[in-house]
Chain A
Amino acid sequence: MKALLSMEGLTGGYGDADILLDVSLHVDADEIVAIVGPNGAGKSTAMKSVFGLLTIRGGKMLFDGDDITRWAPNRIVQRGICYVPQVDNIFREMSIHENLEMGGFLRKGDLSAAYERIYTLFPDLKERYRTPAGSLSGGQRQMVAMGRALMLDPKLLLLDEPTAGLSPKYMEQIFQICRDVRDTGVAILLVEQHAKQALAFADRGYVLAAGRNRHEGSGANLLADREVAEMFLGG
């Protein structure tokens, strides 16, 4: 089967130094792929590279048949990739509702169903939909960020540590949402530090370390790998 997103031999970084060194990965339609690895391994950088937010010096990226290596971010969004960054992932001065509105910026027509869906997922947000997102708690912000991404109907969802700072209850819920979303035909690529949980429910996983591919395989295989467990999953 042809991959939905594929990164081939990507090399690049911020400024002069290369952070990513020959990184290759791919995501097929209908699958959840997890990236794990130590802090500073380049996981977030790999995600940003999809949107051209850094200098790419080698390799290329294909999405759904198009070479998107040098596309403008807003065009990529239009093409069907949605991204939740790890930090700075909300509009602080806008209300929760407006954040969601911005998520649906490209969508035409009536969005009330989409709002309804988000608010049922995160009832906390509904109560305070006019609060500026910047005054929310860490976990609530994460919900807003997820909500914003879910407003669009993307083909591929990139999530950078979606569960960081969320309570165990919501963490479970996020993973559940991911599965639900996948079942509606959206592929998901996510970075997680809750690596065990993530690999347990992902279809496939990659381990990145020091900017390079280290391991890859199905979630279960990686979990079973002793070296991976010791080095990256906390024993």
Chain B
Amino acid sequence: MDLFELLNFYVIPGIVLGSIYALGAVGITLIFAILRYAHLAHGDLATFGAFVALACVTGVGVPPLAALPVAILVTAAVAVGIDKVFYEHLRERPKIVTVMASLGIALMLRSVVQVVWGVDTETYSRGIVRPEDYFGLRIRDRELYTVAALIFLVGGLQLFLTRSKWGKAMRAMSDNPNLALLSGIDNKKVVMLTWVIAGGLCAASGFFLGYNTEIKSMMGWHMLLPMFAAAILGGVGRVEGAVLGGLIVGIAEELSVLVIPSEYKAAMAFAILLFMLLVRPTGLLKGKVL
């Protein structure tokens, strides 16, 4: 197998898939680090975001990429709303209670998607898009957009977290919420901010999954486990880690068919994860630093 074949058919798809995972994993890792629970509705929130974008595309007729910001805003707002209505009053409770609540939210979101948009497979634009040739590398434009969006969104987020004092406030709150309050940090605002970020990234992740393939009501749920694996792989709380984890899971899944039967592809994320936990229990980058 020559190098270009390897790149074109295994590595590039892996990077694209990995970018999609990464967008979701960053949100998961933030929620994990700041609010300290596994948010199981993340996948379905991504589905929701993808369908909001679809509504813009089919309803208003804007091009898909223009629908992305709308989807991000709407999903972020919905995420904040969900938190206010359902998670907020569980904050003092053991975290597992919120995990269960998020499972319920996953069902509710899926139900909303299915009732409003139905269960049919949809696309943003009909037909197929063949890749362009860049010096032997075969890439579709939307794959470039996907990777660019990852760089842009996560880079911006990283800047925000490191440059503004909100990044620190988030860490403080995750470390010791009571003391954060006593230091004058408005925990409610921090939580809201977290949800805005996580919700927005979620929508981006769902959107790009749909943009690269199709939009289905169950697509987010199927992505949930690999995204979690990516978040943990990178080290909980580490934004760069989640990106790295997402890319590794994506590329490894694509490369895995070279060595194992393809029906075990889905196990790849976990195999890597288990292996990594054994050698480096804190994740690739040491966990729990934003």
Partner-B contacts on A (CB < 8 A):
51, 53, 72-74, 77-78, 82-83, 85, 88-94, 98, 101-103, 105-106, 148, 152
Contact = CB atoms under 8 A, between A and B. Distances in A.
Interface string B248-290: 0000000000000000000000000000000000000000110
Contacts of B288: 93
B100 interface: no
B183 A105 contact: yes
Contacts, number: 67
Contacts of A88: 176, 178-179
A112 B185 CA distance: 20
Interface in B124-174: 165, 168-169, 171-172, 174
Contacts of B289: 93
B114 interface: no
Nearest to A98: B168
Interface residues of B, number: 20
A91 B181 contact: no
Nearest to A134: B175
B175 A94 contact: yes
Q: Is chain B's interface secondary structure helix, strand, loop, or mixed overall?
A: helix
Contacts of B175: 91-94
B168 A102 contact: yes
Nearest to B289: A93
B184 A83 contact: no
A77 B183 contact: yes
B111 interface: no
B109 to A, nearest CB: 31
B60 interface: no
A212 B93 CA distance: 31
B182 A83 contact: yes
B176 A91 contact: yes
B178 A53 contact: yes
B88 interface: no
B34 to A, nearest CB: 12
Contacts of A93: 171, 174-175, 288-289
A94 B183 contact: no
Contacts of B180: 91, 102
B212 interface: no
Given A74-B185, A105-B185, A90 B179 contact: yes
B186 interface: yes
A74 B184 contact: yes
Contacts of B178: 53, 85, 88
Given A74-B186, A74-B187, A102 B181 contact: no
B171 A73 contact: no
A77 B184 contact: yes
Given A90-B176, A92-B175, A93-B175, A85 B168 contact: no
Contacts of B172: 91, 94, 98, 102, 105
B176 A103 contact: no
A196 B289 CA distance: 43
Given A72-B181, A74-B186, 10 more contacts: A77-B181, A78-B184, A85-B178, A91-B171, A91-B176, A93-B175, A94-B171, A102-B180, A103-B183, A105-B169
